[in-house]
């Protein structure tokens, strides 16, 4: 089992950049903390996966920054694939899931590293893990940047956790609210008054028009 470390989160001294100050309450994890922890995580993963060809399966869309930073530190032969999965739910609640993109690579007999940005209620991973297990990988480990155990409703955990966070609504570094804020270089806490500004995620509306992949 990989060592689980939850480094200290950012203190009150790290100011939110002026551009985001109206929307973001505070910085929870700075870009430097992210970089340092992800480098450590890559070391743990490298040790565990050494000697085997791995397939990294990343869940769209929130993993975009984490994935890029993680795999550049993995000095292992790996192949990369994506699964599209999104919740119907609007705003800050996790709703029903739809799969919008299936894997292209064959993971049978391979070592799989499943990457997600946040483990929240656990609804996403509790659907994705059995779906991947059914493809008969040699073994599978789960890696998340953020773990928010206070909101868990499904019995699911990750093998590699970047940061365990409190029950606050986080955005940035790939994580969105209504598809915004993914480009912030830090993980920040969204001001509660921002939640009501968009009644429904724009992308959720798009997903509803798509035929979900079974
Ligand atoms: C987010 C996030 C995780 C999931 C975690 O995905 O990327 O995959 O929610 O929540 P859960 O543990 O409560 O299921 P979302 O459906 O918002 O899509 P996104 O990655 O495109 O933001």
Q: Cα separation of 180 and 193, whole Å?
A: 15
Confirm or reject: Cβ of 16 under 6 Å from ligand 1: no
**Percent residues over pLDDT 70 in the chain:** 82
How many angstroms does the Cα of residue 51 sit away from the middle of ligand 1? 31
Nearest to 145 by CA among 16, 42, 21: 42
Confirm or reject: Cβ of 86 under 6 Å from ligand 1: yes
> For residue 90, what are the domain limits?
31-167
Please check whether residue 68 lies inside any domain of the structure. Answer: yes
Going by alpha carbons, the residue nearest to atom 22 of ligand 1 is 62
Give the chain's domain count. 1
How many angstroms does the Cα of residue 22 sit away from the middle of ligand 1? 24
Please check whether residue 8 lies inside any domain of the structure. Answer: no
Please check whether residue 15 lies inside any domain of the structure. Answer: no
Whether the per-residue pLDDT at 205 is higher than 60: the answer is: no
> Residue 39 sits in a domain of what CATH number?
3.40.50.2020
Please check whether residue 4 lies inside any domain of the structure. Answer: no
Instruction: Please report the pLDDT score of residue 6 as a whole number.
Output: 55
Instruction: Please report the pLDDT score of residue 93 as a whole number.
Output: 56
Instruction: Please report the pLDDT score of residue 66 as a whole number.
Output: 98
Please check whether residue 96 lies inside any domain of the structure. Answer: yes
- Residue 49: phi, psi to the nearest 5? -100, 0
Per residue in 184-197, pLDDT tens?
A: 999 999 999 998 75
Please check whether residue 75 lies inside any domain of the structure. Answer: yes
Catalytic annotation on 120?
yes
Q: What pTM does this model have?
A: 0.88
Confirm or reject: Cβ of 176 under 6 Å from ligand 1: yes
Please check whether residue 21 lies inside any domain of the structure. Answer: no
Per residue in 87-128, pLDDT tens?
A: 765 555 556 789 999 999 999 999 999 999 999 999 999 999
Please check whether residue 139 lies inside any domain of the structure. Answer: yes
Q: Cα separation of 51 and 30, whole Å?
A: 33
């Amino acid at each position: 089992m990989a060592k689980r470390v939850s480094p200290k989160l950012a203190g009150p001294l790290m100011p939110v950049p002026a551009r985001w100050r109206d929307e973001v309450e505070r910085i929870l994890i700075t870009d430097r903390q992210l970089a340092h922890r992800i480098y450590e995580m890559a070391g743990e993963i490298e040790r565990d996966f050494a000697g085997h060809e791995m397939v990294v399966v990343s869940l769209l869309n929130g993993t975009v920054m984490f994935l890029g930073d993680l795999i550049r530190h993995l000095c292992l032969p790996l192949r990369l694939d994506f699964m599209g999965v999104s919740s119907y739910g609007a705003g800050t609640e996790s709703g029903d899931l739809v799969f919008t993109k299936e894997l292209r690579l064959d993971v049978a007999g391979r070592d799989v590293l499943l990457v997600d940005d946040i483990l929240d209620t656990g609804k996403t991973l509790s659907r994705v893990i059995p779906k991947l297990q059914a493809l008969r990988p040699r073994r599978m480990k789960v890696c998340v940047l953020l773990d928010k155990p206070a909101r868990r409703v499904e019995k699911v955990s990750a093998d590699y956790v970047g940061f365990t966070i409190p029950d606050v609504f986080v955005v940035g570094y790939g994580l969105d609210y209504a598809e915004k804020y993914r480009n912030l270089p830090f993980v920040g806490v969204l001001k509660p008054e921002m939640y009501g500004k968009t009644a429904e995620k724009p992308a959720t509306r798009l997903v509803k028009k798509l035929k979900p992949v079974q």
